[in-house]
Amino acid sequence: MDFGPFLFLATLEGLVQAAVLCLTALGLSLVFGVMRVVNVAHGEFYMLGAVLAYWITSWISGNPAMGFAVALLLAPLFVGVVAYLSEKIILRRLGYDPEATIVATIGILYILQQTALLTFGPDARPVEPPLYFRVEFPWFGYSGYKLIVIAAAVILLLLAWFVITRTRLGLIMRATQFDRETAQNYGIAVDRVYAMVFAAGAAFAAIAAVLIVPIQQAHYLMGGDPLLLAFIVVIIGGLGSIRGTLLAALLIGLSDGIFSVFFSPTLAKMVSTTLVALVLVFKPEGLFGHRSRL
Amino acid sequence: MKQKKESSSTDVTGVSSSRRRTLKTIGTGIAAATAPVWFPRAYAASEPIKIGAQLHRTGIGASYGRWYERTATAAVNLINEQGGINGRPVELIVEDDGTDPKRGTEVLEKFATQHKVDVAYGTLFSHVVIGSSPRAGELKLPYVVCSEGHHVASGKLNRYVFQPGITDVRSQVISMAPWISQNLGKKVTMMFPDFAFGHDHRDYFSQAIAEQGGEVLELIAVPPTETSFTRYFPRIPRDTEVLYHVMVGPGVLTFVKEMGQHFGKKRPEIFGFIDSLEAVDLATPQLEFLEGTYFWEGNPRYAQADQSDFDKQYRAAVGVDGKGASLADPKDVSTYSHMFACWESLFIIKEAMELAGYRSVADKNAFIEAMESLQKFDEGLAHPQGNKIFNPKLHQSFGHQHISKVGADGSMEVVHKTSIEDGLYESDVDYTQMAL
Tens digits of residue pLDDT in B201-211: 999 999 999 99
Shortest distance between the Cα of A260 and any Cα of chain B, in A, equals 6
- Residue A262 maps to a domain: no
Domain range summary for chain B, segments of one domain joined by +: 2-45, 170-305+400-423
Question: What does pTM read for this prediction?
Answer: 0.84
Question: What pLDDT is recorded for position B30?
Answer: 52
Query: Higher model confidence: residue B422 or residue B30?
Result: B422
- Distance, in Å, from the CA atom of B219 to the CA atom of B197, rounded to the nearest integer, reads 14
Contact in structure between B123 and B165 (CB atoms under 8 Å): no
- Residue A286 maps to a domain: no
- Residue A60 maps to a domain: yes
Neighbours of B18 (CB within 10 A): 7
Asked if A225's CB is within 8 angstroms of B227's CB, the reply is yes
Of A122, A217, A260, Cβ closest to residue B57: A122
Measured in degrees and rounded to the nearest 5, phi and psi for residue B145 equal -105, 155
- Distance, in Å, from the CA atom of B339 to the CA atom of B298, rounded to the nearest integer, reads 9
- Distance, in Å, from the CA atom of A204 to the CA atom of A79, rounded to the nearest integer, reads 9
CA A44 vs. chain centroid, Å, equals: 10
CATH of B170-305+400-423, one of 3.40.50.720, 3.40.50.2300, 2.40.50.100, 3.90.180.10: 3.40.50.2300
Q: What residue of B is the nearest CA neighbor of A260?
A: B231
Question: What pLDDT is recorded for position B41?
Answer: 41
Query: Higher model confidence: residue A123 or residue B383?
Result: B383
Q: What residue of B is the nearest CA neighbor of A219?
A: B250
Q: For all residues of chain B together, what is the average pLDDT? A: 90
- Residue A92 maps to a domain: yes
Contact in structure between B217 and B239 (CB atoms under 8 Å): yes
A2 near B CB under 8 A: no
The dihedral through the CA atoms of B324, B327, B332, B335 has a sign that is negative
As for the ipTM of the complex, it is: 0.84
Of A140, A217, A265, Cβ closest to residue B223: A265
A210 near B CB under 8 A: no
Shortest distance between the Cα of B354 and any Cα of chain A, in A, equals 37
- Distance, in Å, from the CA atom of B25 to the CA atom of B9, rounded to the nearest integer, reads 16
Asked if B250's CB is within 8 angstroms of A123's CB, the reply is yes
Shortest distance between the Cα of B223 and any Cα of chain A, in A, equals 9
> Which domain covers residue A8, as residue numbers?
3-222
Asked if A1's CB is within 8 angstroms of B261's CB, the reply is no
- In the predicted structure, residue A289 carries a pLDDT above the cut 80: no
Asked if B251's CB is within 8 angstroms of A216's CB, the reply is yes
Which residues of B fall within a CB distance of 8 Å from A68? none
Task: Quote the number of domains for chain A.
Answer: 1
- Report the pLDDT averaged over residues B41-45: 46
- Residue A251 maps to a domain: no
- Residue A56 maps to a domain: yes
Asked if B264's CB is within 8 angstroms of A261's CB, the reply is no
Asked if A9's CB is within 8 angstroms of B66's CB, the reply is no
- Residue A275 maps to a domain: no
Contact in structure between A200 and A163 (CB atoms under 8 Å): no
List, for residues B265-300, the tens digit of each pLDDT value: 889 999 999 998 999 999 888 888 999 999 999 999
List the 233-292 stretch of A: residues with Cβ below 8 A of B.
Answer: 257, 260-261, 265-266
* Least confident segment among A88-97, B198-207, B222-231, B381-390: B222-231
Question: What pLDDT is recorded for position A239?
Answer: 73
Contact in structure between B191 and B247 (CB atoms under 8 Å): yes
List, for residues B300-337, the tens digit of each pLDDT value: 999 999 999 999 999 999 999 999 999 999 999 999 99
- In the predicted structure, residue B10 carries a pLDDT above the cut 50: no
User: Which residues, at least 6 apart from B409, have a Cβ–Cβ distance to it below 8 Å?
Assistant: B283
Asked if B250's CB is within 8 angstroms of A219's CB, the reply is yes
Question: What pLDDT is recorded for position A294?
Answer: 42
Which residues of B fall within a CB distance of 8 Å from A136? 264
| Closest to A204 measured CA to CA, from A163, A147, A232 | A163
Taking an 8 Å Cβ-Cβ cutoff, which residues of chain B contact chain A?
57-60, 62-63, 65-66, 223, 226-228, 230-231, 233-234, 238, 250-254, 258, 261-264, 279, 284-286
pLDDT band, residue A266 (cuts 50/70/90): confident
CA atoms within 13 A on the CB side of B268: 23
- Report the pLDDT averaged over residues A207-221: 93
Asked if A121's CB is within 8 angstroms of B228's CB, the reply is no
